[in-house]
Chains A and B, each alone.
Chain A
Amino acid sequence: MRLLDANGLALVRGGRLLFDGLDLTLEAGGGLLLAGLNGAGKSSLLRLIAGLLRPSAGRVERAQAALADEALALDRELPLQRALAFWGGPRLGEAMAAYDLDRLAEVPVRMLSTGQARRARLARVMASGAPLWLLDEPTNGLDRDGAARLEAAIAAHRAAGGAVIAASHAALPGAWRTLELGR
């Protein structure tokens, strides 16, 4: 099953052409690693696939997607579990266990450390049940345990027929197709 089909994508940001003529497809179980220098357009491509930016040319067709970008998108005054539950994802319990967040369920989001907040945003993606994950620098701020849990979550998601697009400077284990932007 094809989860992403994009043809002839071009994006101009701030008067600069980031990429053009970009064709992307992703099948179930696929993994795409976006590489490139800072400012090459990795995050912009993720936002474009998410539908938050309009391409200057080309079109995107995709399955339901979930995005983990810089923003946490959780209510700061709520306990973590309730903040995650606002999004109504079908896999909330599973996601909290996968990132070892159960013991933080009653802690208000504003009290979370940077690394814990990073885990929470990844759990939000997993909880959504969306087949296509868009991850922007997913390993940033994670400790060794967090990174291992992320890798396990990605592997399980892909094995279950999901697909992942990750923009990352760090190498992620597993088989990834790499797209080098900014060349």
Chain B
Amino acid sequence: MTGRLVLREVRRGLSGAAWLPMAFFLIVAAIVPFAIGPDAALLGKIGGGALWIAALTAALLPIERLVEPDRADGMLDQLALGGTSEEAIAGAKMAGHWLTFGPLLLVAAVPGSVLVGIDGTALGRLLVALAIGTPALAALAVAVAALTAGLPRAGAMAGLLLLPLAVPLLIFGAAASGGAPGGALQLEAAVALLTVAGAPFVAGAAIRAART
């Protein structure tokens, strides 16, 4: 059942608006030079961090379609009745969501890096850091979606929850993108691993608690 759930998430992600977070990511990347000014050296310095902020905000967009429609339509109840644990449901959703979010974000990061004036080795570092960070962003998105499912104004609540939770990932991810010494990449990987490992349990408990 878990495999079928992953496929279902991918199908729904692609038939829905998988490109929407990517377009949003690129628009945020495009407005950074307008806000900072055309100073290439300064842009190159802050570009990595700016793209991480763009990635975080892009991760917020799909949250409302990740868990709430399935809760409202009884899919989560039927899956539980069929013997699939809530943690497995959440894990499958995370995997399926990442497949439609992570690779596309990495692709969008290439033109995005041009917009903020990053190239060469800096671009390589950014892509590696994003590749490690996107599974954690997808896991956080599903966990936050489960925590806010069924609440009024869930979208705004999701932003308030996700952004603070993503701060450790942002710190190490942006540092690793900037080529900072001191093992920022390893620390980012550790934070991402912890997030991916813990999020299914948070989301699973939230799905159970939201049941009425």
Interface segment, one of A22-30, A67-75, A148-156? A67-75
- Taking a contact as CB atoms closer than 8 A, the residue among A69, A72, A76, A87 that contacts B82 in the complex is A87
- Is B42 positioned at the interface, with any CB of A under 8 Å from its CB? no
Judge whether B74 and A88 touch: CB under 8 Å: no
Q: Within the complex, what minimum Cβ distance (angstroms) separates A106 from chain B?
A: 17
- Is A50 positioned at the interface, with any CB of B under 8 Å from its CB? yes
Judge whether A71 and B77 touch: CB under 8 Å: yes
Q: How far is the CA of A52 from the CA of B1 in the complex (A)?
A: 19
Judge whether A50 and B15 touch: CB under 8 Å: no
Judge whether B8 and A51 touch: CB under 8 Å: no
Which chain B residue lies CB-closest to A85? B4
Chain A interface, >50% SS class: loop
Which chain B residue lies CB-closest to A89? B82
Chain A 55-88 interface 0/1 with B at a Cβ cutoff of 8 Å (1 = within): 0000000000111011111111100000000111
Q: How far is the CA of A50 from the CA of B77 in the complex (A)?
A: 9
Q: How far is the CA of A128 from the CA of B83 in the complex (A)?
A: 12
Q: Within the complex, what minimum Cβ distance (angstroms) separates A11 from chain B?
A: 13
Q: How far is the CA of A69 from the CA of B77 in the complex (A)?
A: 10
- Is A111 positioned at the interface, with any CB of B under 8 Å from its CB? no
Q: Tell me which residues from 56 to 107 in chain B have a Cβ below 8 Å from any Cβ of chain A.
A: 72-75, 77-78, 80-82
Judge whether A72 and B73 touch: CB under 8 Å: yes
- Is A53 positioned at the interface, with any CB of B under 8 Å from its CB? yes
Chain A 86-105 interface 0/1 with B at a Cβ cutoff of 8 Å (1 = within): 11100000000000000000
Given contacts A67-B78, A86-B4, A88-B4, contact A73 B73 (CB under 8 A): yes
Q: Tell me which residues from 1 to 32 in chain B have a Cβ below 8 Å from any Cβ of chain A.
A: 1, 4, 8, 12, 15
Q: Within the complex, what minimum Cβ distance (angstroms) separates A74 from chain B?
A: 8
Which chain A residue lies CB-closest to B80? A52
Residues of chain B within 8 A of A53, CB atoms compared: 211
Chain B 149-186 interface 0/1 with A at a Cβ cutoff of 8 Å (1 = within): 00000000000000000000000000000000000000
Given contacts A86-B8, A88-B1, A88-B4, contact A73 B78 (CB under 8 A): yes
Residues of chain B within 8 A of A77, CB atoms compared: 12, 15
**Can you list 7 A-B pairs with a CB-CB distance of less than 8 A?**
A51-B80, A72-B73, A74-B73, A75-B8, A86-B4, A88-B1, A124-B78
Chain A positions near chain B (C-beta within 8 angstroms)? 47, 50-53, 65-67, 69-77, 86-88, 124, 128
